[in-house]
């Protein structure tokens, strides 16, 4: 509720300033972006047409169209700003949501090249979501060594490089599940036991313990079969 009130206050402040300075480019850009956030495309569009080269506004339109799954329009904006970290990040996430890893990598690789020090704060989430996407494909194609390898690579990147990120514990969980899907039960157990013992999130501990129980069943079944 507090966040909603802050946004409303910011919106009203920009409107008030704009009445005093209706031709101010920065204020026009700001209000158009706020219109888009409020799904008021019809109000944002005329401003955009007057400011076709405004980087912030173009980015906001690109993100808006991605959210509406209007990829053709979003791609046209991307062509204007091919190295924009924020927009490329949003493209990567949009493609990952639909399981299009190849397309997502086109954009995530641009982000990683442009932002090697993670100034955007998005690299841990990007690696986690890419790793998860590979793991989900591995679930559909058991035994695919390349899918397992790529999932592990991205998830371990988060664990090794971003231990203070919000994605640190989820990456461990997905890594354990990936090992389980790939029938590497010892590795899966090692990762998930560590997570169950040290996770700060209680739900994460519970999830890790649930998978560990499943691992015990699988290990028993594997030993019986052999």
Residue-wise pLDDT tens digits, 108-140: 999 999 999 999 999 999 999 999 999 999 999
Q: Report CA Rg, the chain.
A: 22
- Confirm if 51 and 29 have CB atoms less than 8 A apart: yes
CA nearest to 45, candidates 36, 55, 56: 36
pTM of the full structure:
0.89
Confidence bin at 226 (pLDDT 50/70/90): low
Which domains can be identified in the chain, with CATH numbers? 1-81 (1.25.40), 83-226 (1.25.40.10)
- Confirm if 169 and 199 have CB atoms less than 8 A apart: yes
Q: Positive or negative CA dihedral for 45, 50, 51, 53?
A: positive
Residue-wise pLDDT tens digits, 170-211: 999 999 999 999 999 999 999 999 999 999 999 999 999 999
Per DSSP, the three-state class of 70 is: coil
């Amino acid at each position: 509720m507090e966040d909603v009130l802050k946004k409303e206050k910011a919106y009203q402040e920009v409107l008030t300033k704009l009445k005093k300075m209706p031709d101010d480019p920065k204020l026009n850009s700001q209000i158009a972006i706020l219109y888009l956030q409020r799904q008021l495309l019809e109000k944002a569009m005329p401003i955009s047409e007057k400011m076709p080269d405004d980087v912030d506004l173009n980015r906001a339109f690109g993100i808006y169209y991605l959210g509406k799954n209007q990829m053709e329009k979003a791609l046209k904006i991307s062509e204007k700003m091919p190295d924009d970290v924020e927009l490329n990040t949003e493209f990567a996430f949009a493609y990952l949501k639909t399981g299009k890893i190849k397309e997502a990598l086109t954009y995530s690789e641009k982000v990683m090249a442009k932002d090697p020090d993670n100034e955007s704060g998005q690299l841990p989430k990007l690696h986690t979501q890419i790793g998860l996407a590979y793991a989900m494909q591995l679930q559909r194609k058991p035994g695919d060594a390349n899918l397992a390898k790529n999932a592990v690579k991205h998830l371990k990147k988060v664990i090794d490089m971003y231990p203070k990120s919000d994605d640190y514990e989820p990456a461990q969980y997905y890594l354990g599940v990936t090992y389980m899907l790939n029938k590497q039960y010892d590795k899966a157990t090692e990762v998930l036991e560590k997570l169950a013992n040290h996770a700060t999130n209680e739900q994460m501990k519970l999830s890790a313990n649930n998978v560990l129980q499943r691992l015990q069943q699988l290990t028993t079944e594997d030993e019986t079969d052999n």
